[in-house]
Amino acid sequence: MSDKLRQFVFWTSRILASLLAALILLIFIGEAAAGGLGPLRVLTLREQLMMAAFFTAFLGLILGWLREKLGGWLVVGGMAAFYILDLAFSGSFPRGVTFLLIVFPGLLYLFSGYSNPDNEMSR
């Protein structure tokens, strides 16, 4: 892969991951400010499992900055678990592209990490 493409994927993954992580934090903080943290204490099993899967993906967005492969697998695995859980509980996948957008930086992290195996930061 050319150095220009490698740099493009490297920075695109990080910029998208940062924007999505910031958006997720903003939504979480806004919801907490509006309703407090009380609702988090009474989550159903479905909500707990889906929140854990989503948090795994969120963590991957952040960790991918330092460890591309780990971050990428956490994002992709967390969102796959989120979709599988939603299918199991509701009988359908989430509609729209919003959740699919979260997978994209994870895929870019993986592409960048595996295309440059000499990079110590990509492990």
Whether the model pTM is above 0.85: yes
At residue 118 the predicted structure's pLDDT band, cuts being 50, 70 and 90, is: low
78 contacts: CB under 8 Å, gap ≥ 6: 53, 54, 55, 56, 57, 58, 59, 60
DSSP 66: T
Question: In this predicted model, which residue has the larger pLDDT, 43 or 79?
Answer: 79
Mean pLDDT of the chain: 89
User: Is the model's pLDDT at 123 over the cut of 70?
Assistant: no
